[in-house]
Amino acid sequence: MKVTDAFWEERNLGVKTVELLINRDDSCLEIEETLAACENYQYCVAKVEVPNVEAQRLLSKHGFYYAESSLNMYLDVRNFRLSPLESRINKQVTYKPISSSEIPRFEERIREGIFDTDRIFLDSEFSAEKAAQRYLNWINDERTRGTELFEILYKDTPIGFFTQKQVAENTYYPFLAGLYKESNAIIGVGFSVLAKPIENAISKGGKFISTYVSSNNLPIVRLHIQLGFVPNHLYSVFVKHNRQ
């Protein structure tokens, strides 16, 4: 089991946060002892590797509730595939780095609330504004560490974005991508938020892509599978708010 003081979430969400990563073989005794030490935190997040059912039952007993499942999706880029229709549309879709002067415009797009299925957005304890700012802080923090930020364009019109982070010699992690609000009206371009990061990784010599998706967003889960990804790990995510 791994315990992380998620100090960055106090800036993002205004609450002192702890994150627990519980493995499938962790004992209930070890978990119980750790939970006792978590009472000083206002927000507790426990990610349980399935199928540790006893850990899930114990978390429920201690006031945690299920928020989502987090799926680690893995792609061997040799298995990347597009349908004939997607291939035709893809010829009209490009991407480019987002420059420093374009960041304010990009941030406004994120603040429009393009992510509305994650556990933070859906939690009544947090506001939609905080959920959006959390994503922006995440992106900006990663950019300072060398993560790249790209904008996706359809016929030269910006429709979305993606991040790109190298996590191993041949493996890339596009930890965040999405379509802008108005782009949802353009039929058939949704696949590009995955296709373009894959193409970018291939251009860098990447062989694998590892990323995470929420079970709250079934369309994006299906899209990953459609493009060749396979589920690699699965975690049940439980949360608890401590009143202080």
Tell me the three state secondary structure of residue 112.
coil
What's the pLDDT at 36? Answer: 86
Which residues are 5's β-sheet partners? 18
Question: Do 178 and 99 share a structural domain?
Answer: yes
What's the pLDDT at 113? Answer: 84
Q: How far apart are CA 172 and CA 160, in angstroms?
A: 19
Helices and strands: H and E segment counts in the chain: 8, 12
Is residue 90 predicted with pLDDT exceeding 90?
yes
Band the pLDDT of 178: cuts 50, 70, 90: very high
Provide the mean pLDDT of the chain: 93
What's the pLDDT at 183? Answer: 83
CATH code at position 224: 3.40.630.30
Question: Do 119 and 25 share a structural domain?
Answer: no
Give residue-wise pLDDT tens across range 183-240. 876 778 999 999 999 999 999 999 999 999 999 999 999 999 999 999 999 999 999 9
Token readout for 170 is 């041949």
Cα 147–chain centre separation = 15
Decide: 75 and 201 in contact? Cβ < 8 Å.
no
Question: Do 50 and 19 share a structural domain?
Answer: yes
Considering only residues 185 and 148, tell me which one the structure prediction assigns the higher pLDDT. Answer: 148
Distances (CA, A) of 72 to 79, 100, 232, 233: 17, 31, 5, 5
Total number of domains constituting the chain: 2
Question: Do 179 and 122 share a structural domain?
Answer: yes
- Regarding pTM above 0.75, the answer is yes
Give residue-wise pLDDT tens across range 11-52. 999 999 999 999 988 888 889 989 988 888 999 999 999 988
Give residue-wise pLDDT tens across range 106-133. 999 999 888 989 999 999 999 999 999 9
Type and span of the H or E element at 154: strand 148-154
Q: How far apart are CA 36 and CA 141, in angstroms?
A: 31
Question: Do 174 and 155 share a structural domain?
Answer: yes
Question: Do 192 and 139 share a structural domain?
Answer: yes
Question: Do 161 and 55 share a structural domain?
Answer: no
Question: Do 81 and 62 share a structural domain?
Answer: no
Q: How far apart are CA 61 and CA 49, in angstroms?
A: 18
**Which structural domain, as residue segments, surrounds residue 54?**
2-71+237-241
Question: Do 95 and 24 share a structural domain?
Answer: no
Residues 6+ apart with CB under 8 A from 161: 98, 106, 109, 149, 150, 151, 152, 177, 178, 180
Is residue 244 predicted with pLDDT exceeding 70?
no
